[in-house]
Amino acid sequence: FMLDRAFRVLDPLIPRAMRARALRRAERWTIERLNGEDGLGAIFPAMVNALEMMVLLGYGPDDPRRVTAKRALEKLVVEQGDRAYCQPCVSPVWDTGLACLTLQALGDNESLAGACRGLDWLLPRQILEPVGDWRARRPAVRSGGWPFQYGNAHYPDLDDTAVVAWSMHAAQGRERYAHSIGRSLDWLVGMQSDGGGFAAFDADNTHYNLNYIPFADHGALLDPPTSDVTARVVTVLARAERPQDRPALERALAFLRREQEPDGSWFGRWGTNYIYGTWSVLVALEAAGVAATDPAVVRAVEWLRARQNADGGWGESNDSYDRARYGDRPFVSTPYQTAWAVLGLIAAGERASPAAHRGVEFLLRTQQHGLWSHPSFTAPGFPRVFYLKYHGYSAYFPLWALAAYRQGS
């Protein structure tokens, strides 16, 4: 804040020509990434800022770029009768990838065929062109990722890419996906950060001092490696069993061991929260061949057992992202968090445990009209700032957990 005050004093002394040049560069950078009707970054905050920028810089209301930016925002609005709401973004690649994994867990011919149809839809959406801001840190790495949304070529993410590659590798007739899988694994390995972990969009994006800039009051200006994303990458690398990936895999496993919380859980950056992170890592450890008797696995299982509610389910609120203020408040059981816990227990070799059985009973008891639902928000956009609701989470995750329980894996 002292630096901020100093810069405010110096601000009038900046030559006008220098300021104009900086504005032109920022404008050019933004216009290059407008991304058509999918929008800048394909997410509301960036999209609305891009439109406001054009208005302030004098782009007329009929300017095609301004019209397109406005249309991108309008496409996020969902109207339902006499009410409407604005989505922060859409998540078709993420939802489709997870739905495919769920269908594959079911294992019957109809479900497996459905998973392949989903993967065939995903196949041409892989970004193979040499574009993306991630290339600033990894210019020699070939593209090969998927975005979260329908179109977002500048910002593929590792979590979506790992999920899609995982499902493609598990598919019947996976030979037709071989090239796509190889490109995605190469990209994932190339995006590993120096500490062994993986972030969502970038590598080594860890200049934490930037979070203290006054306009970064949300404390999330960066994209550091996280346990949940690293776990997803570990899962697919371990399942693919490519010899060249072994060093990256070992470094990622070491990162996950370092990141385990003292209570045995793992933090979940992109899903609420410690239940999500713990499920993600337990699945990764199983895929990597870590024994159920490993101390890290044992501690995680003990944590999950201790968090089970009296009704057999699990629940965790977004207050857990501010433990200093709220501590570990109990929360009502939710279908999706119960599913994560059950999947984590199964991965840890606890399928036959009373805890897993009670979790499955909760899911069976709370199913309504073939599906599950819960009004809670399921993930953070930015922890302690705003949260998201993935409507699919209460549908496919419980089904995935029941399928895994039935199959015994």
Q: Catalytic residue positions?
A: 159
CA 8 to chain centre: 37
In the three-class reduction of DSSP (H, G, I as helix; E, B as strand; rest coil), residue 170 is classed as: helix
Could you give the C-alpha distances from 93 to 148, 185, 295, 317, 394, in angstroms and in order?
A: 5, 17, 35, 26, 17
Residue type, 246: R
Helix 246-259 with 227-240: angle, nearest 10 deg:
150
Residue 391: CA count within 13 A, CB half-sphere: 5
CA 80 to chain centre: 27
**Cα distance between residue 218 and residue 211, in whole Å:** 8
**Cα distance between residue 41 and residue 29, in whole Å:** 12
Radius of gyration from C-alpha coordinates of the chain: 22
CA 210 to chain centre: 22
Closest listed residue to residue 409, CA positions, set 188, 162, 239:
239
**Cα distance between residue 189 and residue 237, in whole Å:** 9
Query: What kind and span of H or E run contains 378?
Result: none
**Cα distance between residue 201 and residue 278, in whole Å:** 21
Contact 179, 237 (CB under 8 A): no
377 contact partners, CB below 8 Å, separation of at least 6: 272, 318, 387, 388, 389
* Residue ranges of E strands in 50-186: 77-80, 83-86
Query: What kind and span of H or E run contains 386?
Result: strand 386-388
Residue 41: CA count within 13 A, CB half-sphere: 15
* Cβ count within 10 A of residue 254: 13
**Cα distance between residue 312 and residue 338, in whole Å:** 8
Beta bridge partners of residue 77, listed in sequence order: 86
Closest listed residue to residue 399, CA positions, set 96, 92, 98, 94:
98
